[in-house]
Amino acid sequence: MQKKIILSKDQVAEIVQANKYQVDDKSSFISRCIDGRYPTSSSLTRLRGAGPENDNLPPLALAGADLGELALIKAAGNTYGFEVDLKKTYQVLVELLGGIDNFQMHTDGHGDPTIAAAGCGHLKQMKLDPGAYHLTDEDILTLSEIAEDAKKKGATEVKLEGDHIEGAVLQVTGNYSVKTRYFLENNNGTREVEVFVFHETFVSKRHKELAKRLIEKKAVILVNGLDAEYLSEMLSEATEDHLMETAKRLAKGLPIYLATFAEDGGFDLTEMGTV
C-alpha cells in the first residue's frame, strides 16, 4: 500500500498547473465522483464529444457522481420539507444529460461486482448512516434500485483501482477542471499523489438547470409559491452538507484548497483550512 503524502500549497499548485483542462458547455454537465483514483485514459468513459485534451475525464466533480446528485436532492426535500419523487428525478437527470450512457457512477476493485456502485465510498457512508445525510432507509433502498436500473440500461460505471492516497481536498471554480492524479518529484524520487476534487461552478450551473426541469416535470413539488431559484439554492446547501459529511469520514485532517480559475487558465490557490 502506498503511503499518503499530505500535500502543501506549493505541491497542489504544481498539480493544478499540470492537470488543469478547459471545459466546454457540451461536457460541463457530465459528472464524476470526488474520488482521487480516476484514471485519465481515453477509454475512461463514453462521454460524447469530448476532445483528447481532457482524456474524456468528466469535469463536474461531486460526491457520488450522479447517484450522489439524486441522494442530495432527496436529502434537500427531507430537510426543507418539499416532496421529491426519486425515480422521476432520476429520469429528469438522464434527460438533462442526453441519455443513460452519460449517467455516471463508479465502483472499485474492492467492491462487490454484482452490486452497482458498490465501491463508491460516498455511497457506502450513506448506507452506513443514512440519518447523517438526511436520508431514510427507504431512500437508500430506492437509490440502490436506481443504481441497478441505470447499470442494466447502459449507464457508465467506472471501475477505480488502488488504495486511497489523496493528500488534499481541492475545490474548483471557473471554466477549467483538474485531473486528480499526478507524479511529484522530490528528494526521494517520484511519488504518485492524488487529490479529492469538487467542482463548485459546474455543480451550481447544473443545479440551476436541473431545478427548473424538476419543477416542470413535477419530480419536485414545492409549496408556498417557492420557485426554481429557491430549489437550486437548497440543492447547493445539501451538496455542501453531503460533501463535508463524507470528507469528515474519508478525508479527515487533509488540507482544503480553493482553485479559482480565470478565463485564460490562470488561477489563484487559496488555503481554506483542514477537514
- Give, for all 275 residues of the chain, the pLDDT tens digit: 667 899 999 999 999 999 999 999 889 999 999 999 998 643 333 333 333 444 579 999 999 999 999 999 999 999 999 999 999 999 999 999 999 999 999 999 888 999 999 999 999 999 999 999 999 999 999 999 999 999 999 999 999 998 899 999 999 999 999 999 999 887 778 888 999 999 999 999 999 999 999 999 999 999 888 999 999 999 999 999 999 999 999 999 999 999 999 999 999 999 999 99
Please state, in angstroms and rounded to a whole number, the distance separating the CA atoms of residues 205 and 259. Answer: 17
Q: Is residue 219 part of a domain?
A: yes
Q: Which of 146, 170, 150 is closest to 36 using CA atoms?
A: 170
Strands 20-22 and 176-178: antiparallel
Does residue 258 lie in a domain region?
yes
Residue 265 located in a structural domain: yes
- The answer to the question of residue 1 being in a domain is no
In a domain, 227, yes or no: yes
CA–CA separation, 108 and 203 (whole Å): 24
* Tally of structural domains, the chain: 1
Q: Is residue 2 in some structural domain?
A: no
Cα–Cα dist 266/70, whole Å = 33
100 lies in which domain range? 9-274
φ, ψ (nearest 5 deg) of residue 160: -90, 145
Quick check: is 3 in a domain? no
4 falls within a domain: no
* Bridge partner residues of 84 (DSSP): 220
Exposed, middle or buried by CB within 10 Å (0-12, 13-18, 19+), for 225? exposed
